Amino acid sequence: MSALYLLHKPYRMLCQFTDRRGDEGGRNATPRATLAAVIDVPGIYAAGRLDYDSEGLLLLTDDGSLIHRISDPRHKQPKTYRVQVEGTPDEAALAALRRGVALKDGLTRPAKVRRLATSDLPERDPPVSPKRHPETTWLELTLTEGRNRQVRRMTAHVGHPTLRLVRTAIGPWRLDGLAPGQWRRETLHAPRTARRAGRRPGGPR
């Protein structure tokens, strides 16, 4: 069996347990919030990552093979995001995201995209300023690849910069009402093939 921890990573928190920049000192070395502030489970590491200014579902475990299965791009775990963008994307912009857009590192894979009437998410602290951004739209995007800051780059490419980004699902795992900073533990059992072979969960494959 393997333990998997589902965490709602808050805004402006590093996706790691220490802030190396703060530890090293020097100019602009004010420590940033880390995962140690919200989850105290020894020996676990994140399977994948979220940017400092992104929020939402993060998976953590002490099982190295499980981390590989979740984060390796070859497994193509779909990831779903709720994204607040500037302005109101028209159908042409949404169609471009669905087809794939040409970024500097190549054409993105087609994405699933739909408008949302509401995010159904808790308010961010601090919130997106309505004075600076009077017109915004919530979208739900599902991607099957994970390039650096991909969602932000895609929405900017079609003329609607991302103001807030919250990951709500990774493969079969969902945020499911966790508030920022909250987490829950799930127990994963060995795949049937591993049990037949008598291998330990998380052992060599």
Residues that are catalytic: 51
Residues sharing a CB contact under 8 Å with residue 183, sequence separation 6 or more, in sequence order: 5, 6, 7, 8, 38, 39
The tokens for 95 are 């169609």
Spatial CA neighbour of 155 closest among 133, 138, 134, 130: 138
The tokens for 98 are 């669905």
Using CA atoms, how far residue 196 sits from 64, 187, 201, in Å, is 21, 19, 11
